Structure 1
Amino acid sequence: MAVRRLALLLEYEGTRYSGFQYQKNAPSVQREVESAIQRLTGEQVRIAGAGRTDAGVHAAGQVVAFTTEAPYECRSFASALNHFLPEDIAVRQAREVPLGFDPRRHARSRVYRYTVLNREGRSALWRRFAHTVYGLLDAEAMRVALAMLEGQRDFAPFAGPLGGRRSTVRRLYRTAVWREGEVVRLEVEGNAFLPQQVRRMAAAVLRVGTRQMSMEEFGALANGGRHGACQWMLPPAGLCLVSVNYPGLFFEET
C-alpha cells in the first residue's frame, strides 16, 4: 500500500485538555486524535501540529499532518475519523499533501483571536469562550495600542517561560480590535508566536482599554526588551487559534 501524507483541519474546545501537545498523564488534543486514527486505520501514528495551544485554549483552524497507508478518500476519511473523536474535537476537512509537509515549519502565518465580554454581570453561556470585563472598556484605545506592535520586533516583554535559549523576535503582519455589542475581539496575525505571547499582549492592551495603563506606559512596556516584563496574562478561555495559512495549501470555506 502506498504511503501518503494527510493534513487535517481541526477545531476543538480546549476546556478539558492540558493543551494540544501530548502529555503522558494528562488529556491532550494530540492524544485524542492519534487514538482516533489508530481506531479507524489500525495504524499507530504521530501527528505534527501547526501550533501548540496551551491548556484551555480553543482552535477553529488548527492544522495537523501525519503519514498513513489508509486508502480512504479525503472526504470520507474526515467523516469516518469524526466518528471516533470526542464531541469537543472535530475534523473539518482533510487534504493530501506532499510527504515532506511540516505544518509548523511550512506555515506562512497564524491567526489568533481573543474574545472579551464587556458587560455588567457574569455570563453562563460565554464562561468557557471569553474573559469578562465589567465597566468601561475603550475598544478604540485598545486598537491603537495593539497596532503599535505591528511589524518585526523583539517580543521578549510578552514572552512566557521559553525553556531554553531561542530568539524572541517575531513579526506581526496585522492586528485588529473591534466591538460587536457586548463583545470585543482582538485579533493578531503573525509568522509565529512565543509561549503565552498573545494572552500577555491582550492583557496589556486590555489595561489600556480600562484606563489602568496609559498609551505611553504601554509603549514603554513593549519597547523595554526585558523578558517577561508584562506580568499580566489573560485566562486561556478567551483565546482561539483561528487559522494557519500556507503557500499552496487551501482548505475550502465551510
Structure 2
Amino acid sequence: MRYFIELSYDGTDFHGWQTQPNGITVQECLDKALTTCFRQNIISLGCGRTDAGVHATQFYAHFDVVDLPEATVTNSVTNINSLLPYTIAVKRIFAVGDEAHARFGATARAYRYHLHFEKDPFKINRSWLYKGELNFDKMNQAAQLLLNFTDFSCFSKSKTQTFTNNCKITKASFEKIDGGLIFTIKADRFLRNMVRAIVGTLILVGKRDIEIEEVEQIIESKNRSNAGQSVPACGLYLVAIEYPFISN
C-alpha cells in the first residue's frame, strides 16, 4: 500500500533532500527511520529536491509498505519522530491510491525567501542578512513581470535533467516585515536554483543596478549569465505543496 508522509525540516546541516554519496541528506535520514520502524526496506520519493541549506515547513514524500495494517503505518508518527534527528519532524502519514505520486502529482508549490537588514543572532541560518538599502516598490513591480512569462531558462542551473524550462508562476511578491522582507512565489513547478536566482535578480532592481524593464530582457535572453547571482540558501523555505487529492 502507498502512503504519503508530511514533514518539515531545518536544512542547515543537510546536503539537501535527495540521498547522495558526499553528505547526509533528509531523504537518507527519513528512509533509515522508516526502514527501522517498519522492518522492511523503505525508499521514499519526495515532492522535489531542495538544495543544501534550504528549509521546508511543508514537504511531502510517498513510500510503499508491504503486509502491514494501515493503522499500524498511519499511527507510527511518534515512533518515526523518535528515530529522526530533531531537525526533521514528521507531521502525519496517510494512505493514498497506488498511483499517487509525491512529485508528479503536485499541482502547485510555494516558496518564501526571508531577508533581514540588521544583525540578529537568532536569524543565523534562518534568513539572509542583507547590508544595504533596497527599493521595495521597484522590486515588487519587477516581480509582477514574472507572471507574463513561462520560459525561465535564465534562472535555471545548466545541465539539469529537465525536459523543459517552462513554469507557470501565479504569484510573486515582496512583503515588509519588522526588520526585513519576505518574498513569496508560487508556481506549478520550479527549476533547480530558480527561486534564489530570481531573488538575486530582483535585488539588482532594488539596488538600482538594473531597471525594471531589464528583467524582461533577462528572461527573454534565456541566458543564466545575464541574471543576478543566487542568494544564499539559508533564507529559502519550501512552504506549501498542493495536490488535487489532499486537503491542507
Q: Give the alignment's TM-score, normalised by structure 1.
A: 0.91
Q: 1:132-166: per-residue Cα shift (whole Å, max 9, x none)?
A: 11231222221111111014421011111233562
In the alignment, what sits opposite 1:108? 107
Q: Write the mapping of 1:12-91 to structure 2, written as runs, cut at 5 A.
A: 12-69=9-66, 70-71=68-69, 73=71, 76-91=75-90
Q: Quickly say closer, same or farther: Cα 1:209–1:79, change in 2 above 3 A.
A: same
1:99 aligns with 2:80: no
In the alignment, what sits opposite 2:190? 193
One of 135, 138, 158 as aligned partner of 2:135: 138
**Aligned-pair identity (%):** 25
Instruction: State the one-letter code of the partner of 1:176.
Output: S
One of 159, 163, 168 as aligned partner of 1:166: 163
- For structure 2, the 5+ residue unaligned runs are none
Whether the aligned pair in 1 keeps the contact of 2:106 and 2:241 (CA below 8 Å) is: yes
* Higher mean C-alpha displacement, 158-167 vs 15-24: 158-167
Q: Quickly say closer, same or farther: Cα 1:164–1:12, change in 2 above 3 A.
A: closer
* Higher mean C-alpha displacement, 70-79 vs 89-98: 70-79
Whether the aligned pair in 2 keeps the contact of 1:162 and 1:195 (CA below 8 Å) is: no
One of 148, 166, 172 as aligned partner of 2:145: 148
The Cα shift of 1:217 comes to: 2.2
Whole-Å separation in 2 of the counterparts to 1:135 and 1:225: 29
Whole-Å separation in 1 of the counterparts to 2:134 and 2:42: 47
The Cα shift of 1:118 comes to: 2.0
Whole-Å separation in 2 of the counterparts to 1:127 and 1:213: 29
State how many pairs are aligned: 246
* Higher mean C-alpha displacement, 132-141 vs 109-118: 132-141
Whole-Å separation in 2 of the counterparts to 1:210 and 1:181: 20
Q: Quickly say closer, same or farther: Cα 1:114–1:161, change in 2 above 3 A.
A: same
* Higher mean C-alpha displacement, 95-104 vs 133-142: 133-142
Secondary structure of the 2:154 match is: helix
The Cα shift of 1:231 comes to: 4.5
Aligned CA RMSD, in angstroms, stands at 1.6
Q: Give the alignment's TM-score, normalised by structure 2.
A: 0.94
The Cα shift of 1:81 comes to: 1.0
* Higher mean C-alpha displacement, 87-96 vs 74-83: 74-83
- For structure 1, the 5+ residue unaligned runs are none
The Cα shift of 1:72 comes to: 5.4
Secondary structure of the 1:27 match is: coil
* Higher mean C-alpha displacement, 165-174 vs 52-61: 165-174
Instruction: State the one-letter code of the partner of 2:26.
Output: V
In the alignment, what sits opposite 2:117? 118
In the alignment, what sits opposite 1:238? 235
* Higher mean C-alpha displacement, 14-23 vs 151-160: 151-160
Whole-Å separation in 2 of the counterparts to 1:124 and 1:147: 33
